[in-house]
Structure 1
Amino acid sequence: MAKRILVVEDNDLNRKLFCDVLKSQGYVVEPVADGHVALQRAREFVPNLIIMDIQLADVSGVELIEQAKRDPILRPIPVLAVTAYAGKGDEDRIRDAGAEGYLAKPVSIGPFMAAVKGLVERTV
């Protein structure tokens, strides 16, 4: 059975790129542009991985990760955080929120897929 990935990304081009690459690798993908509905969509879709943009338009990806990790249904789902604003201490702050993976944008396909596969293979 194909693994399921929720992609939370408000930038149309990045969201399409992530989804296209993941689909080409056989994953079932659910794109989400609005961070406000991300966690509800995650509960409905029940993904094996959540890819979370940190700089969403009107909600912090870090806050969404923290909320997901407090939710008994979403807590076991690994989160791969992606951000264009990688500053000193950001990775620690994002991992402290509960993200199991972290990538700085621009994301290269090789490291992106390695991170995805590493996190998806951990789930059953």
Structure 2
Amino acid sequence: MSGRTILYVEDNEYNRKIVRQLLKRSSCRLIEAGDGETGVALAQQDLPDLILMDVQLPKMSGLDATRRLTTDALTRHIPIIVITSYALSGDREKAMQAGASSYLAKPYSPSELLAMVKQFLPDL
């Protein structure tokens, strides 16, 4: 068991359920936040090994949360995969400028997300 922790910051319960199911067979612990502020607080509290960050979030956008986490000495080492359904031209660049480690556009296949997670957590 790897004992890895993944934080998923997503306000849509259906999307959280899909990722929950996807990671159920892995050895990782999944923690979830429904808004950007809670996501930042959980990241600072639990120091997960990887963060999956939606862009469109209540209270604080995923890009603002990513900026906050990547400039905080406590959390800047944590890789963040930004996930968005608003995959417009320039969105990947905005995510990377905010400090994201990687970027994934919805809709994505479960295998695509799992492959991306394994890039950062190969022992999963």
Query: If the length of structure 2 is used for normalisation, what is the TM-score?
Result: 0.92
Q: Which whole-Å deviations, capped at 9, do the CAs of 1:4-34 have from their partners, x for residues lacking one?
A: 1000000000011112211222211001112
1:83-123: CA deviation from partner (whole Å, max 9, x where unpaired): 0000001001101111011100012111100100102249x
Alignment of 1:32-111 (within 5 A): 32-111=33-112
The offset of 1:62, in angstroms, is 0.5
Over residues 51-91 of structure 1, what are the superposed CA-to-partner deviations in whole Å (9 max), with x where a residue is unaligned? 00011133211011000011001100000010000000100
User: For the Cα contact (< 8 Å) 1:101–1:119, is it kept in 2?
Assistant: no
1:31 aligned onto 2:32: yes
- The residue aligned with 1:114 is 115
What amino acid is aligned across from residue 68 of structure 1 in structure 2? L
* Number of corresponding residues: 122
1:19 and 1:31 map into 2 onto residues whose CA distance is 9
SS of residue in 1 equivalent to 2:48: coil
> What's the counterpart of residue 9 of structure 2?
8
Amino acid paired to 1:44: Q
Report SS of the residue matched to 1:102: strand
Q: Which runs of 4 or more aligned residues in structure 1 lie more than 6 Å from their structure 2 counterparts after TM superposition?
A: none
Segment drifting more, 113-122 vs 67-76: 113-122
Q: CA RMSD for the aligned pairs?
A: 1.4
- Uncovered stretches (5+) of structure 2, i.e. residues with no partner: none
Paired residue secondary structure (1:38): helix
Any unmatched runs of 5+ in structure 1? none
* Identity of matched residues, %: 36
Higher helix share: 1
> After alignment, is 28-37 or 7-16 more displaced?
28-37
Q: Which moved more, 1:80-89 or 1:26-35?
A: 26-35
